[in-house]
């Protein structure tokens, strides 16, 4: 089991960085649509999506944004922290098979409020920015080391 370890507020430094990489699979796309209820055909219907400016299906923008949440929760500042807000700009589409990397960097620390501002950019396998933004987080004040929670297996079956 993987251990998750945070960086407590008092140990954060301007310029601290972390990253997380993930490849979008067909299963990810379908599961995100199911969980979110977002069945926009640009995500799910290849025939429809091929007629759009994207020339094929694209990921939900919030799937990509959810990877930012994952990186903040598991990498920087890590477990025990609270994700307070996010500014996002979607720059390019992500398609099934694309590999994206969330890049985090602490750019501001507010000692009085015990908050940190984090640049949150997502880059694709071609080095192009697909999402750029900035988050505000409230890191945990104490050291946290926990076992990663075991997620259940999920099996997809065709709709009836």
Per-residue pLDDT of the chain (160 residues; tens, 9 = 90+): 899 999 999 999 999 999 999 999 999 999 999 999 999 999 999 999 999 999 999 999 999 999 999 999 999 999 999 999 999 999 999 999 999 999 999 999 999 999 999 999 999 999 999 999 999 999 999 999 999 999 999 988 887 7
**How far is it, in rounded angstroms, from Cα 59 to Cα 94?**
5
**Of the candidates 139, 135, 138, the residue with the CA atom closest to the CA atom of residue 117:** 135
**pTM value surpassing 0.85:** yes
Within 10 Å of residue 92's Cβ, how many Cβ atoms? 17
What's the chain's length in residues? 160
Question: pLDDT value at position 66?
Answer: 97
Contacts of 51 (CB under 8 A, 6+ apart): none
CATH number for the segment(s) 13-25+59-138: 3.10.129.10
* Contact status, residue 89 vs residue 133, Cβ threshold 8 Å: yes
**How far is it, in rounded angstroms, from Cα 8 to Cα 16?**
12
Question: pLDDT value at position 160?
Answer: 75
């Amino acid at each position: 089991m993987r251990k998750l370890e945070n960086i407590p507020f008092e140990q954060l430094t301007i310029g601290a960085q972390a990253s997380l990489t993930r490849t979008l699979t067909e299963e990810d796309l379908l599961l995100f649509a199911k969980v979110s209820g977002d069945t926009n055909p640009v995500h799910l219907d290849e025939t429809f999506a091929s007629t759009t400016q994207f020339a094929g299906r694209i990921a939900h923008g919030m799937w990509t944004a959810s990877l930012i949440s994952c990186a903040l929760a598991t990498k920087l500042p890590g477990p025990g922290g609270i994700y307070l807000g996010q500014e996002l700009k979607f720059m390019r589409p992500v398609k099934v098979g694309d590999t994206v990397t969330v890049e985090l960097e602490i750019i501001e620390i507010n000692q009085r409020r015990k908050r940190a501002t984090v640049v949150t950019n997502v880059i694709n396998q071609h080095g192009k920015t697909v999402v750029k933004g900035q988050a505000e987080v409230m890191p945990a004040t104490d050291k946290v080391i926990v076992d990663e929670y075991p997620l259940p297996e999920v099996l997809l079956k065709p709709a009836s």
